[in-house]
Each structure stands twice: as structure tokens, then as C-alpha cells.
């Protein structure tokens, strides 16, 4: 499927997973401090390009390290403030970060693939039309999250096992930004 056929314009919204898409993921571990947070090469420039293509850009991230007691919500907010500030300094913009602090399979499970974070975003930003959104992630739960609300989906290739197909697969956020900027 060609991105050109999607019809992306400046009224669309972008949803990004964090670990493995924006920053280097720690397999089997957690980003618990700003010192642990390392941008993937090319991401800051990619988000700058994507900011020029999309009306709103959100980060949606599962962070069960909070429920496990490995970090606090304050730690996470500091990491997100750092991330957003670095992105802003390079000419990009994150509209808002949403996170699911609960353990997997909790009674009130906000975690992807459940659509709770997407619904929270739409409550705060009623102009969001999920049919005019792109979800970019590196795991099946990211892709299912997007599909569950009708978004276009983009998978970033990692060593994560794949059992759910995205609309397109790319090697990095930078590759997607370059493809999109040539299409629109």
C-alpha cells in the first residue's frame, strides 16, 4: 500500500510509540531516568519533518515500570519533558504524551492494544478523526492499538517478533518521514 493513497494532509494526527520508535529500547528493561533515554539516530530530524506534515502529534506509551515500582510517575514526566524539549529545540513538536502506568492485564487496563490512550486524546482534541490518523510502533500491541480504532499503521522493524501486519513497514521513523515528505 502506497502512503500516497492515504491522502495524508495537515488535518491528520500522528500517534507514536516511544521505546523503539523515538528512543533506543532496553529489551528486558526500562527507561527509568533521563540518563537512560537515548534518541535513535535521525529521530529528531524525522519528528521535525513529521511536525510539518501532521496537525497533532502524540506519544502513546505503555509504562508498567511504574506499577512495578521501578520508577515513579514523576520520573516518567521528567523523561517526557526532556524528550519534548529536545524535539522542540530541533524544530519538532509533540502535542501531548499519554502513558499507561498499569501492569499488563490490570482491571483498568490502559495499555496498548486497548484504545484508552487514543480515546483520551480524542476527548481532549475533538478534531481527531481516527480514520485520519497514523500510528507508528515497533510491536504487535502498537499496530493493534492503531487498527482497533481505524488508524493507518506503520511498523518500525526491530528484533521484536511479528504476528500482526501493519499497513507498511519501514526500518526507522526517519525512513517513514522521508517517504511521507516525498508523497505530500
129 in catalytic set: no
The 133-137 sheet, strands edge to edge: 96-100, 56-62, 13-16, 133-137, 152-156, 168-170
Whether the predicted model's global pTM rises above the 0.85 cut: yes
Determine contact, residues 11/132, Cβ cutoff 8 Å.
yes
19 in catalytic set: yes
User: What are the tens digits of pLDDT across the range 47-87?
Assistant: 999 999 999 999 999 999 999 999 999 999 999 999 999 99
Q: Which residues of 6-72 form beta strands (DSSP E)?
A: 13-16, 56-62
Catalytic annotation, pick one of 9, 19, 109, 138:
19
Helical ranges in the chain per DSSP H: 43-53, 73-89, 116-124, 140-148, 173-183
Catalytic annotation, pick one of 9, 17, 140, 142:
17
The domain limits of the chain are: 3-183
Helix, strand, or coil (residue 152): strand
What CATH number belongs to 3-183?
3.40.50.1000
Amino acid at each position: 500500500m502506497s502512503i500516497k493513497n492515504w491522502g495524508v494532509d495537515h488535518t491528520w494526527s500522528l500517534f507514536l510509540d516511544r521505546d523503539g520508535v523515538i528512543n533506543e529500547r532496553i529489551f528486558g528493561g526500562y527507561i527509568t531516568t533521563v540518563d537512560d533515554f537515548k534518541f535513535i539516530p535521525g529521530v529528531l530530524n524525522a519528528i521535525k519533518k513529521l511536525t510539518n506534515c501532521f496537525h497533532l502529534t502524540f506519544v502513546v506509551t505503555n509504562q508498567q515500570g511504574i506499577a512495578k515500582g521501578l520508577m515513579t510517575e514523576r520520573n516518567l514526566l521528567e523523561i517526557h519533558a526532556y524528550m519534548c524539549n529536545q524535539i522542540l529545540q530541533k524544530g519538532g513538536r509533540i502535542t501531548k504524551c499519554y502513558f499507561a502506568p498499569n501492569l499488563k492485564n490490570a482491571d483498568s487496563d490502559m495499555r496498548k492494544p486497548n484504545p484508552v490512550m487514543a480515546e483520551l486524546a480524542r476527548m481532549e482534541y475533538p478534531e481527531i478523526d481516527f480514520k485520519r490518523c497514523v500510528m507508528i510502533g515497533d510491536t504487535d500491541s502498537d499496530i493493534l492499538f492503531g487498527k482497533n480504532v481505524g488508524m493507518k499503521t506503520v511498523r518500525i522493524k526491530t528484533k521484536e517478533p511479528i504476528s500482526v501486519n501493519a499497513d507498511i513497514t519501514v526500518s526507522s521513523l526517519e525512513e517513514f518521514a522521508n517517504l511521507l515528505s516525498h508523497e505530500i
